[in-house]
Amino acid sequence: MLRFGILGCGSIGGFLGRLLARPDGPLRERARLVAVAGRDPVRAHRLAAELGCEALAVPELLARTDIDAVAVCTPSGTHAELGTAALRAGKHVLVEKPVDVTPEAADRLIAAARHTGRTLGVISQHRFDPAAEVARAAIEDGTLGRITSVLIEVPLWRARSYYASGQWRGTRALDGGGGALMNQAVHAVDLAQWLAGPVVEAAAHTGLLAHDGIEVEDVATASLKFADGALGALLATTAAYPGRTTRVAVNGERGSVVIDNDELAYFHTAREGERPTAYGAYGDGNQAADRCPPPRKPPPRDRIGLLHQPHRDQLADFCDAVRTGRPPLVDGAAGRRAVAVVHAVYTSARTGRTVRLDESGNLTQEKGRTP
């Protein structure tokens, strides 16, 4: 039984708290909530009262000997600092996405985990969606053939009131690039790399086109190249009214898969012995329902709209990783690779050059963009 404390009493801290305070399914014998802490004592006490746990100051929570693990659910640019403090206090750490807002901050957190010997995980719950697991298995076993292209589309809308809802939102220091790419689309970037392998090149543009009073972009586009040669296109925006669903599509020489709004929207692969026709099928023959049957009733969601199952399964994976000593499915290195791609996009947009990365997400060089 892993005993948790939560740092951060906003929407995501409350959501994880509700999963831990009333654990079911795979969490029932694995985890329980002990305490919460946040910058605002009033909010912390209100959340603690809801969850039936204690409200503490951050130093008090980190000093508690009856807390084994800490979930860091604070503004993005504070993740490495608070996560490092928790690791040094002897806690295992599960940090909300992104791992932090720069690769350098991620490196400090990863180094602290290595030095202390504690487990570090990064929330990227979409890897635990049934659709993502089906897609991953099909890619790994060669069902789709060689992967040739990847499309990442995150066409969201965020009103000015969204950015005004927290002083950290839309700031370079704490939001790291805004809701368009670092805050929301980092999930899709991580999922695309989990499916198709690491991104090794990015050529990008960014813009601030629909919002006033924020420091960062609300539109980002990029051309990507993956390590195995597949080419990709990325759109991330919080300026697409009224907002549509996030979509990741992976296309191969023998099949294609589309994940839309966390569900398997399309799946088609050539059957055993089948030879693809000259012009394909133009999207006919959707096999998604065979690969991932839809649930009989809508799965339960939290009051903030998130599904219970993916976060719950990732929490269970983290608990098992602590117990067995193995890395969690989404460890610090995986979280860093997603942030590194985001920063490659920002660097390319700022310099007008194509940015190259190695497979670990380290910047290798920039090359001039062809006119």
- Please give the positions annotated as active site: 97
* 332 CA to centre of own chain: 12
Q: Is the peptide bond before 327 cis (omega within 30 degrees of 0)?
A: no
* 194 CA to centre of own chain: 11
Residue 195: CB atoms within 10 Å: 23
Looking at the chain, how many residues does it have? 371
β-strand pairing of 31-37 with 2-7: parallel
* 186 CA to centre of own chain: 5
Show the tokens assigned to 176. Answer: 């790291």
